[in-house]
Amino acid sequence: MEFGNHTTSIAATTASNGTASSQAAPHRKNAAQRNRSDSPYQGRTAQKDNPTQQIIKQAVDFLIQQVEAGKSETLAAYLTAMARFHNYSFGNIVAIARQRPTATRVAGFGTWKEMGRFVKRGEKGIQILAPMIGFRRRGDAAEQEPETKRQRVLIGFRAVYVFDVAQTEGEDLPEFEHTISGEVGGQRDRLIDFLAQQNITLEFSERIAPALGVSYGGKIALLPGQSKPEEFVTLVHETAHELLHKAERRTFTTATVRETEAEAVAFIVGQSIGLEMGNASSDYIQMYNGNATLLAESLEVIQHTSALILTAIREEEIAEAATEPEQFAAA
């Protein structure tokens, strides 16, 4: 997640949440026996084949397949639920905060009922103002006009009551799936060292909730309390923002492109160290209206940034990079 661009409405985040990545990496093939696939990445990349590049190509192909497959059932359920919650005006946000400072998700009695939840007995509603919409009068002729052609106008406000989720009980609300599993090992510490070398500071702050991470430009903030795998992938996501989107390139990319690129990098790095993410990354990308076409268009920067981070955090890749000039010369 980038500061000033969007907020993650889930703990993931995103995720900024978010953040997140995917499944076990496909096996590597010997470079001398490698067959070209139809991957758009392989068609556009002219770099010398090596294990890191192989991993990146395979991971991008797999992520594109996931995105092209469409939204997972988890994401579809989550988006359906979120669509039923209204966006409140600034005045109503202040009113909610004043009456119930701990409120996190509010809706009317009827909306909660539709979601399979019911307001607990004795709970006091939170009063907000709801707009009243009517039709502008245009004389007698207006009475004959179809309702679809008559102009709808705001005629006033009325008091209504909403309730926080904590005031209700019933079916669990769908949540965005961002659970990540696996062993991070020493990669976390090496990634933090890499950030220090780039003069990027790292801090932990509960104030960024519900976002999992925020990139400020020269500083990354993470939400404390994440599991080690979740925290690592969130940190990779925000690192990608720092490396890609805090310079001139930011001026000609949209928020959708930036989130697609950052989450693709998080997916590749997470997969490369053996983390399991399910559909988390593809769902995150689609939440920001990203798609396979955007991935293909951003492959060069995704590849470069993924390789940079992987080289920094993987000891075997560092050793391989040290001997690579000699091998290249011998070839």
- Residue 234's pLDDT is 94
Model confidence over 304-314: pLDDT tens digits?
A: 999 999 999 98
Determine the pLDDT at residue 125: 96
Q: Where exactly are the structural domains of the chain?
A: 31-72+177-330, 84-170
pLDDT at 9: 31
| Residue carrying the six token digits 């890609």 | 244
What band does 295 get if pLDDT is binned at 50, 70 and 90? confident
Higher pLDDT, 250 or 321: 250
For residue 243, count other CB atoms closer than 10 A to its CB: 22
Q: Give the predicted TM-score (pTM) of the model.
A: 0.58
Q: What is the pLDDT of residues 172-206, one digit of tens each?
A: 876 655 667 889 989 999 999 999 999 999 999 99
Distance, in Å, from the CA atom of 6 to the CA atom of 245, rounded to the nearest integer, reads 14
pLDDT at 299: 83
Q: Is the pLDDT of residue 47 over 80?
A: no
Which DSSP string do the residues of 136-183 spell out, in sequence order?
A: ---SHHHHHS-TTTSPEEEEEEEEEEEEEGGGEEESPPP------BS-
State pLDDT tens for residues 75-98.
666 666 655 556 677 788 778 888
Q: What is the pLDDT of residue 178?
A: 61
